[in-house]
Amino acid sequence: MAPPLLVLQSVSLTFGGRALLEGADLSVSAGERLCLVGRNGSGKSTLLKIAAGFLEIDGGSRFLQPDATIRYLPQEPDLSGFDTVFAYVEAGLGPLGDPYRGRRLLNDLGLTGEENPKTLSGGEARRAALARVLAPEPDILLLDEPTNHLDLPAIEWLEAELKGLRSALVIISHDRRFLQNLSRCTVWLDRGRTRSLSRGFADFEAWRDQTLEEEERQSHKMDRKIVAEEHWLRYGVTARRKRNQKRLSGLNAMRVERRQRQGAAGDVRLVASEGKISGKLVVEADEISKSYGERLIVANFSTRILRGDRVGVIGANGAGKTTLIKILTGAEPPDSGRVRLGANVELASLDQGRASLDPETALKDALTGGGSDFVEINGERKHVVGYMKDFLFGPEQARTPIGRLSGGERGRLMLARALARPSNLLVLDEPTNDLDLETLDLLQEMLADYKGTLIIVSHDRDFLDRVATSVVLAEGGGRWVEYAGGYSDMVAQRGFGVGAGPSAAAPGKAKAAPAPRAEKPAAKPRLSFKEKHALETLPARMEQLRKEMGSLRLLLDDAGFYARDPARFAQTSAAFAKYEAELNAAEEDWLELEIRREEVGG
C-alpha cells in the first residue's frame, strides 16, 4: 500500500487561551475522497489551513511527501494584486501548468478571464478561485466551502469536474448532497479531536449519533461509579482500617476527569414566532411580467400559494429569484398582470445578503431593536440573553458588534431576528448559508412545525428535498415553471437537473432567450413516483376499507348487540369510525391525484 501524501499527527493549537485542537489527526492518500465535518467553530477551517501549510501548530507534526503538489481553496479568496482574473488563475498554475486549461475552466464557470478582480461579486470571486485551484490538477485539493455563493448549475458542474479529477479531495461543506455525491470517507472534528469513518458522508450522521449515544452511556456509568466510590469513602472506611490510598487516588482522578470532560456542543433551539392564521389563499399571481430595460425577468407567470405551502425558488444567479419574490409578496409591482395577497398575511423575511446588519450594532440591540432587554416570542416575553443562548451565543457576546461575528454566527443571528417576528408567511432567501449541518437539521425541524406558509430561495438540493412541497424554476428568458415536490422530484419530472440537459447555459449565466424552447418544447410535468404509486394502490386500499366497514356494520345493525356486550359494541363503533375516516381521507387523496393526473396528461 502506498504511503499517505499528507499526514497530520496529534496536532494541537490554542487560540486566545482556548484549546481549539487537541491531538487532531488527518491522513490523505492518493486519490482519496474525504470530507471534514464538525460544528461551526470546531476548527475545521483551521485544520485545513494547517494541512495547507499556512498555520504553525503548537504541538504535533505535519508531513507532506516532497514531490506532492497541494492547492487550497479558502472561504474568502483574495484576488488583490492582479489586473485580471486570468492573471490570478495563471499565477496558481505552477511551472508545469496548462494555461489553456485555466481558460477553459473560467469559460465553463461563466467568466472570460479579462474581468477586473476589484469589480467581482462574491460568487464570481469564488468561481475564479475554483479555476485557480482546479487548473493545475494537484495531487491534493483542500476545499473550504467550495459551494458558497454558487448557484445550482455551478454546483452541479463542480461536482462533475471533481469526480473526473485524479486529485485527492478534502472537502468542508454544509451541502449534504455535495458531500454524499463526492466523499468516500469521513473525518469528524469534535471537541478538538478527530474521529474517522471509512465510509462517505451518507453514513456519517447515523454513525455520529451512535457514537454520541455510546459516549453518553459511558458518561452515565462513570457518574454512577463516582457515587459508589463516594459512598465507600464516607461509610466504608473505619478507624480500625487504613484508607485504601490507591482507591482514593482513583476516585480523585475520576473527579478531575469529570470536571475536565467536555460534553457535546449544545444545540440551537429554533422556534418561530407565529402570527394570526392567514386565509386559505396566501398569494395569487395571474399572468405577471417584469422587465428591467431590455432584460425580461418574469414573463406571464401564474401561481396560487395556499396556507401551509412550502415553495422553493431555484435558478441561476441573476435569473431574478429575489425580484420574483418581491413581486409575489407585494414589495414590488409587476409591469403587467395581477398579484393578490390573502387575508391576514403577516410577512417576516431573511435576506440573503445580511444587508440589514449594521456592523457597529451590538448583538443584543440587533435582536431587541435597542432600548430593551427582552424579545417577544409567540406572545411571551423572553430575556434577550436566554434567546441568544437558544442560538448558541454566550452572555458575554451581548454587546459584541455584529462586524466581529463569524459568517456562521451572522447566519444564526439573521435567523434569530427573522424567527422573532410574528408571521404566517416566512420568506427565507438562502437560509442555509454558513450554517453547520446540525443547525440545518434543527432549522428543517422548525420549518416542518411552522404552521404558516414558506417561500424559500435555496441552492441546497437536500434542503429543498426535505422542506419544499413545490419548486419554481427559472427556465431562462423570464420563463418560470412550477413543479410538484422537492428538487429531486423536479429533476424526475423535467428529465434533467438545472445544470444539465440540452439547453443548459454555462454555470452562473441565465439563459438568454426562450427561442430554443420554441423548437423543442419543455417536457411536461409528470407525476412523481410516490403519486403514481398512490394512484395504483389507493383503489385497492379503499375497497379493503369498505369491506372492513361492511363487516362491522353487520354487527352494529344487530339490535341486541349493545345489550349483550357494551364494551365490544363500543370497540366496534370506534373501529367503524376509524375506518370511515381513513376511507374519506383516501377518497380525497385519490380524487386530488386523479385531477393532477389529468392536468399533466399522464
Known binding-site positions: 38-45, 315-322
C-alpha 219/C-alpha 561 separation (Å) is 58
Q: Read off the DSSP letter of residue 145.
A: S
- Structural contact between residues 311 and 455, judged by C-beta atoms closer than 8 angstroms: yes
- Structural contact between residues 507 and 151, judged by C-beta atoms closer than 8 angstroms: yes
- Rounded to 10°, the helix 99-108/122-134 angle is 150
Distances (CA, A) of 57 to 15, 38, 47, 71: 11, 20, 10, 19
Nearest by Cα to 274 from 378, 198, 362, 367: 378
C-alpha 68/C-alpha 446 separation (Å) is 46
C-alpha 195/C-alpha 27 separation (Å) is 12
- Structural contact between residues 473 and 151, judged by C-beta atoms closer than 8 angstroms: no
Three-state SS at 168: strand
C-alpha 447/C-alpha 442 separation (Å) is 9
Q: Return the residue matching grid coordinates 467536555.
A: 262
Binding residues for ATP: 38-45, 315-322
Distances (CA, A) of 291 to 252, 335, 389, 392: 74, 7, 44, 43
User: What are the grid coordinates assigned to 279, written together?
Assistant: 386565509
Nearest by Cα to 129 from 139, 140, 114, 144: 144
Length of the chain: 602
C-alpha 276/C-alpha 94 separation (Å) is 61
User: What are the grid coordinates assigned to 540, written together?
Assistant: 385497492
User: What are the grid coordinates assigned to 479, written together?
Assistant: 420563463
Nearest by Cα to 80 from 93, 69, 96, 91: 91
Side chain identity at 208, as an amino acid letter?
R
C-alpha 427/C-alpha 325 separation (Å) is 8
User: What are the grid coordinates assigned to 274, written together?
Assistant: 407565529
C-alpha 314/C-alpha 332 separation (Å) is 19
Three-state SS at 38: coil
